[in-house]
Amino acid sequence: MDFSLGAIITWGVPILLVVFFVSIYNKLVALRNRVKNAFAQIDVQLQRRHDLIPNLVETAKTYLKHEQETLEGVISARNQAVSAQKAASADPSDGSLMGKLSQAEGMLTGALGRLFAVSEDYPDLKADATMADLMESLESTENKVAFARQAYNDGVMNFQTYKESFPNNIIANFSGFKDAAMFEIENPEAKHAPKVSF
């Protein structure tokens, strides 16, 4: 077997390049999977949030007979958010789907804020035990969504930083890795969990 410098260079350099390429590719896959896993945590909390809203609206209906437009707005925003959530769940690393989800969740949070503001004018609704429980559960879920969103955004930042670094960007582009997008609430007033007071 020939161990000359020429043979080592001829065989060693290509092998090192392949190992280098494979290690970068595998790290990109691992970081992308962390982003998907972090989104799965958001997905669970959003599903819980979406499941609570029909019960909240149903309870409020008996008290808010003159606020039908507000109630319909909440249900409409919820349905749009559920649709956007399903689409984003299919590929959480797709930036356009995450943008649509962010926008839909912002609209839902805004609609919930209007419902809570209207409910302030109805003391019987504020005193209803079922409504109080639902609002407390919703507030708790909002907090969990915020924590899960932060973890997801951290994962996206790590993935994007690694993906955009040289020479990783060459391998990422060649391998078809898409940009991941942060999950940010589009509605400025929705950046904070809705205030619930009794």
Residue type, 146: A
CB 51, CB 158: distance < 8 Å: no
pLDDT band at 198 (very low <50, low <70, confident <90, very high): very low
Count Cβ neighbours within 10 Å for each residue of 25-61 and write b for 16 or more, e otherwise: beebeebbebbbebbebbbebbeebbebbeebbebbe
CB 128, CB 59: distance < 8 Å: yes
pLDDT tens-digit series, residues 55-102: 888 888 877 877 888 889 999 999 999 999 999 998 887 888 888 999
Three-state SS at 179: coil
The C-alpha atoms of residue 151 and residue 138 are separated, in whole angstroms, by 20
